[in-house]
């Protein structure tokens, strides 16, 4: 099933949306959104598989290439610098609000700057909401620790495995994380994963989908991790995780 191959060539300037592109860079932030099918985004030496409705946000000047399977469509809108992620590559997973906006953009087919502007503004509003981290987890300064930090959030590898690949001892990395972030490596990694899950929840994903996107085995393990970090009982988080997190942030009445 799918569309005829010649349809991908019908509008030459948009062929890239059907077949992908070789490695290049952009001067501004760039969102890669998978409309349908499957894509393979190559960035920083890693291949990221893009399933339908998933998105990845790239910082400016990050070299990347995209290969699309047959019967696939991807969109890649440019953004202003205020939408730049802190990291070079931010995996957003499935964010329903982004999916809806990108479908609207696909239907509207804006071409002029004035036509494109409301879609860009809307996308940046969604991203700004997603970028707000619930838990502070700053990046370490030391270059090797920073390299491990970049790999740790989206990987299931142990700290020992990550350190072996970077040629540094686990003890040294643990000292660096504590000194430069104020957190143990384990707690830092937990907070980063929780932040990713919360961004997915804010974007409209289910708790199960948010858990998978953040590397948890399922909804239950995510809620238990949230409970340990916030002190909010799992029973309350199960009903409305975002609502109870917001309540936990409010100062106590004087």
Reported as type and span, the H/E element at residue 93 is strand 89-94
Most confident of 54-68, 149-163, 200-214, 240-254: 54-68
Q: Report helix, strand or coil for 63.
A: coil
Find, among 252, 185, 194, 181, the residue nearest to 225 by Cα. Answer: 194
Who contacts 216 (Cβ-Cβ below 8 Å, separation ≥6)?
Answer: 193, 197, 222, 225
Find, among 212, 252, 214, 247, the residue nearest to 233 by Cα. Answer: 247
**If you average pLDDT over residues 144-162, what whole number do you get?**
88
Q: Is the pLDDT of residue 253 over 60?
A: no
Joined tokens for residue 84: 């730049």
Q: Report helix, strand or coil for 92.
A: strand
State how far the Cα of 37 lies from the Cα of 75, in Å rounded to an integer: 12
| Global confidence as pTM | 0.61
DSSP characters over 72-88: -EEE--B--GGG--SSS
Distance of CA 103 to the CA centre of its chain: 19
pLDDT digits (tens, 9 = 90+) for 202-233: 877 888 888 888 888 899 999 999 999 988 89
Mean pLDDT of the chain: 88
Domains of the chain: 5-130 (2.60.120.280), 143-248 (1.10.10.60)
User: In the structure, what pLDDT confidence band is assigned to residue 251 with cuts at 50, 70 and 90?
Assistant: very low
The end-to-end CA distance of the chain, in Å, is 63
> What pLDDT, on a 0 to 100 scale, did the predictor assign at position 118?
95
């Amino acid at each position: 099933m799918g569309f005829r191959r010649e349809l991908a060539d019908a509008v030459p300037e948009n062929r890239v949306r059907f077949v992908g592109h070789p490695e290049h860079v952009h001067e501004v932030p760039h969102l890669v959104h998978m409309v349908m099918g499957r894509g393979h985004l190559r960035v920083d030496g890693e291949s990221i598989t893009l399933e339908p409705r998933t998105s990845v946000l790239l910082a400016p000047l990050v070299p990347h290439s995209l290969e699309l399977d047959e019967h696939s469509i991807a969109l890649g809108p440019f953004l202003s610098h205020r939408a730049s992620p802190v990291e070079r590559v931010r995996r957003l997973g499935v964010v329903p609000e982004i999916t809806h906006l990108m479908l609207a953009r696909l239907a509207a087919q804006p071409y002029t700057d004035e036509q494109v502007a409301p879609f860009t503004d809307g996308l940046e509003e969604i991203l700004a909401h997603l970028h707000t981290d619930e838990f502070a987890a700053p990046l370490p300064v030391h270059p090797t620790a920073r390299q491990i930090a970049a790999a740790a959030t989206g990987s299931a590898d142990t700290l020992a495995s990550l350190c072996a690949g970077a040629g540094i001892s686990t003890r040294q990395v643990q000292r660096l994380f504590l000194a430069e972030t104020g957190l143990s490596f384990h707690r830092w990694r937990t907070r980063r994963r929780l932040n990713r899950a919360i961004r997915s929840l804010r974007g409209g994903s289910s708790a199960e989908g948010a858990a998978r996107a953040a590397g948890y085995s399922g909804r239950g393990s995510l809620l238990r991790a949230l409970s340990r970090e916030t002190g909010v009982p799992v029973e309350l988080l199960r009903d409305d995780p975002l609502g109870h997190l917001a309540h936990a942030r409010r100062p106590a009445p004087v």
